[in-house]
């Protein structure tokens, strides 16, 4: 008796299964967007900002994206996922394309972003503490007295940083 895994088992000749062929390059905007994990609208937006440039067009005006364009779109998406601003992404893209760059330039941008995130986290934690204090003071009963509304109406707040959000232009 033979088993399905024994060499004596007769196997049907293998035929190539119908697998979807990868679209050859260049690709239209919908395919590029799908491959980059973003919407076609965002692709057009990034192009309008100059983050993606030199996109070829067909005779009928349809955009045609290369593998390098899609790779750049991945780069932009990942940068956005990490919270970089469009200005920072533009600078990072420029450095990515510049093979003579110093890694210290990239590290400076990333460190500045970390510092900015830390400041924003501290501000959010202060907001959370203020709200927790207000919520703990509220009895939450059927009476109309509410220290949360009283505080909001009084306009008192913890001193907020008046410094603008740090960007690359105001280092």
Q: What is the mean pLDDT of the chain?
A: 86
Q: What pLDDT does residue 18 have?
A: 54
Distances, alpha carbon 86 to alpha carbons 12, 35, 73, 93, in Å: 56, 21, 13, 10
Which tokens in the block code for residue 143?
């009476």
Contact call for residues 135 and 148 (beta carbons, < 8 A): yes
Would you call 170 helix, strand, or coil by DSSP?
A: helix
pLDDT score of 165 more than 90: no
Alpha-carbon distance of 33 to 76, in angstroms, equals: 12
Map tokens 């067909």 to a residue: 58
- Whether the full predicted model's pTM is greater than 0.75, yes or no, is no
Percent of the chain with pLDDT over 90: 76
């Amino acid at each position: 008796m033979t088993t399905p895994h024994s060499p004596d088992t007769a196997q049907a000749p293998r035929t190539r299964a119908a697998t979807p062929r990868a679209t050859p390059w260049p690709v239209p905007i919908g395919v590029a967007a799908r491959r980059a994990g973003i919407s076609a609208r965002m692709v057009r937006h990034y192009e309008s900002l100059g983050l993606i440039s030199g996109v070829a067009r067909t005779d009928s005006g349809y955009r045609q994206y290369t593998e390098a364009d899609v790779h750049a779109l991945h780069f932009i998406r990942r940068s956005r996922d990490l919270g970089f601003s469009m200005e920072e992404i533009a600078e990072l893209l420029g450095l990515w394309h510049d093979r003579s760059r110093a890694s210290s330039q990239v590290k400076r941008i990333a460190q500045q972003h970390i510092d900015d995130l830390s400041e924003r986290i501290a501000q959010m934690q202060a907001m959370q503490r203020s709200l927790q204090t207000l919520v703990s003071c509220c009895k939450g009963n059927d009476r109309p007295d509410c220290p949360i509304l009283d505080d909001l109406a009084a306009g008192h707040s913890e001193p907020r940083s008046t410094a603008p959000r740090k960007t690359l232009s105001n280092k």
